[in-house]
Chain A
Amino acid sequence: MTHPAITLSDITKVYSNGTVALQHLNLAIEEGQFISLVGPSGCGKSTVLRMIAGLGKMSSGQIEWSSGHSQRQLAFVFQEAALMPWATVQDNVRLPLKLAGVSYSASRTAVAEALELVDLTGFEKCYPRELSGGMKMRVSIARALVTKPEVLLMDEPFGALDEMTRSRLNSDLLALWSQKQWTVIFVTHNIYEAVYLSNRVIVMAARPGRVVADVPIAAPYPRTEEFRLSPLYGEYCRQISSALSQAASGQDVAIANPDRRAAEYV
């Protein structure tokens, strides 16, 4: 098992209107892990991402980065594609480099590579309005990848897409992840998506936002369509779903089968 890349210790976030977004949250994220945060809206899963990204202050607690890592090497993908409508695809992707002061010619290769990764070569000169929702999301991902990040934060990136586009982007994302070995922190409210993608699912509950279950998904990669149909997949989904409903009804969540978890987590 690898050492933690990011350690969140005892994080509490209270908004100015008194809402407790997060309460005493502890989470160690290991290097190269694909970790999903699932939970109802208002459970603070997006807030966790924002805290890690350094957008907004914590009320208390701290976030530690292991040596060799820093916030500089992370990238954020938002729920909406958040593209600049006045800029072409390539200018949108180039934005992080431009803000870092990299010249146009020096950033050309990086932009082309990022676009190739998300399979958008040939669309460099298009404007966002000419693209479908799925393609816009790909541009948004390319923009995140252009700085060659080591940590990828994704806030419900496929939430607004139709099911077919979503599942296609899911498998494309997995293929990229196995190639690049980023640490991915993926926020979603879709249990099936979380189980399919991750090797660890964190279940959160709302009011106050907290972690209620930590479920390792031990299925091997690459994950194919067969995995989606396997009983193991169904079992994981059921487990997470029941953790969510127990938390919603106010019961304490018993973390299921600790022995099996340990055995399966390779």
Chain B
Amino acid sequence: MLLRQLTALILELQNLLMGRINFTAGSDRPNGSIPALAAKPIGKLGTAGLSGMRQLLSADLLAPVGVGFLVLAFWEIAVRMSGVQPYLLPGPLLVLQTLISEWGTLFPSLVITFQITLAAFVVAVISGLLVSVLFTQSKWIERSFFPYAVILQTTPVVAIAPLIIIWVRQVVPGDNSTFVALVICAWIVALFPIIANTTLGLNSADHNLINLFQLYKASRWQTLLHLRLPSAMPYFLGGLRISGGLALIGAVVAEFVAGTGGTKSGIAYQILISSYNLQIPRMFAALLMTTGLGVLIFVLLTLLSDFLLGKWHESAVRREN
């Protein structure tokens, strides 16, 4: 019965993805107002690309799902045949059952972790973007401050998390103290990929275009807005994908260190408690949820990236061969 549910879920997911492709193929023709001359090459690209994508996607989706099923089946059979105790290694079906039965206690924790991740990610994106723009305005600023960004990145967050928690408690008293401290920890981890990628992107604008902007007496602001920022877009979005996952990892690691109980405990605390209590299936279920959230963040950011770059950047353009 569970198997049937899973198959239905996968079918639905596939339909969803197909729907997305139809949508992007349609949007290739802006307003449908291109005259006959132009419609020819675009139309050709659109239809050929569509069937190609459908093929690619079904294979893309079926292969990993197939492998997943095989591994899960092998795992389940191995657990049943060998009679390993569930507190050592639970089978996937037991994990799934636990996930459903413990949903009420696990999901609120996941939401809290997600809130920390989201807050840290948003702050990292905004601050990273600002810092990168500042870096590219002057070589001296970049030279002076970039090493410190690297130091921030290479300092293990586990080691400084206790300090941050103590310090934040001095500044922000009350319930929100831990939340703020955890956001800061996750932010430290998520910040660097955005700074590194965006700075690289802002500096890699086409040299001829920079000359052209100079020739037409473009202001610093115009050059930033119309040339440097669009050039940096693919790099920035790449940084976003790395940073989204790192924000989650940062939040989970910091939660481990904070180890807070009570109402505002995140998913890492649940993992920790479950392992202390030898509730290994529950621990697996919480782990599964965390991984699922990470994958979801990655998929959402990839969709965003494809949507923004779809029309012009090589990374998002599907090839026919």
Contact = CB atoms under 8 A, between A and B. Distances in A.
Interface of A: 50, 53-55, 76, 78-80, 82, 84-87, 95-96, 98-100, 122-130
B209 interface: yes
B17 interface: no
A55 B211 contact: yes
A76 B211 contact: yes
Given A125-B34, A130-B45, A85 B212 contact: no
B217 A99 contact: yes
A129 B317 contact: yes
Given A78-B208, A98-B226, A53 B233 contact: no
25 contacts: A54-B215, A55-B214, A55-B215, A76-B212, A76-B215, A78-B212, A84-B209, A84-B230, A85-B313, A86-B230, A95-B212, A95-B226, A99-B213, A99-B217, A99-B222, A100-B216, A122-B38, A123-B37, A125-B30, A125-B33, A126-B34, A127-B311, A129-B312, A129-B314, A130-B45
A122 B233 CA distance: 28
Given A122-B37, A123-B38, A130-B45, A82 B206 contact: yes
Contacts of B222: 99
A50 B209 CA distance: 14
Contacts of A98: 226
Contacts, number: 69
B11 interface: no
Contacts of B41: 126, 130
Interface residues of B, number: 32
Given A98-B226, A130-B41, 20 more contacts: A55-B211, A55-B215, A76-B211, A78-B208, A78-B211, A79-B208, A82-B206, A84-B209, A84-B227, A86-B312, A99-B216, A99-B222, A122-B36, A123-B37, A125-B30, A125-B34, A126-B34, A126-B42, A128-B312, A130-B42
B83 to A, nearest CB: 60
Interface of B is mostly: helix
B218 interface: yes
Contacts of A78: 208, 211-212
Contact of A127 (B217, B218, B233, B312): B312
Nearest to A123: B38
A79 B212 CA distance: 12
A27 B211 CA distance: 24
B9 to A, nearest CB: 37
Contacts of A128: 312
Residue of A96, A99, A123 with highest tally of chain B CB at under 10 A? A99
A80 B208 contact: yes
B38 A125 contact: yes
A129 B319 CA distance: 12
Interface of B: 30-31, 33-38, 41-42, 45, 206, 208-209, 211-218, 222, 226-227, 230, 233, 311-314, 317
Contacts of A54: 215
B205 to A, nearest CB: 10
Interface of A is mostly: loop
Contacts of B209: 82, 84
B216 A96 contact: yes
A96 to B, nearest CB: 5
A125 B208 CA distance: 23
Contacts of A99: 213, 216-218, 222, 226
Contacts of B38: 122-126
A126 B312 CA distance: 10
A101 B109 CA distance: 52
Contacts of A127: 311-312
Nearest to B42: A130
Given A127-B311, A130-B45, A53 B206 contact: no
Contacts of B36: 122
Contacts of B227: 84
A85 B212 CA distance: 15
A85 B213 contact: no
A126 B34 CA distance: 9
Nearest to A82: B208
Nearest to A74: B215
Nearest to B206: A82
B33 to A, nearest CB: 7
B230 A53 contact: no
Contacts of A53: 215
A64 B284 CA distance: 78
Contact of A122 (B30, B35, B211, B230): B35
Contacts of A85: 312-313
A235 to B, nearest CB: 36
B28 to A, nearest CB: 10
A177 B278 CA distance: 84
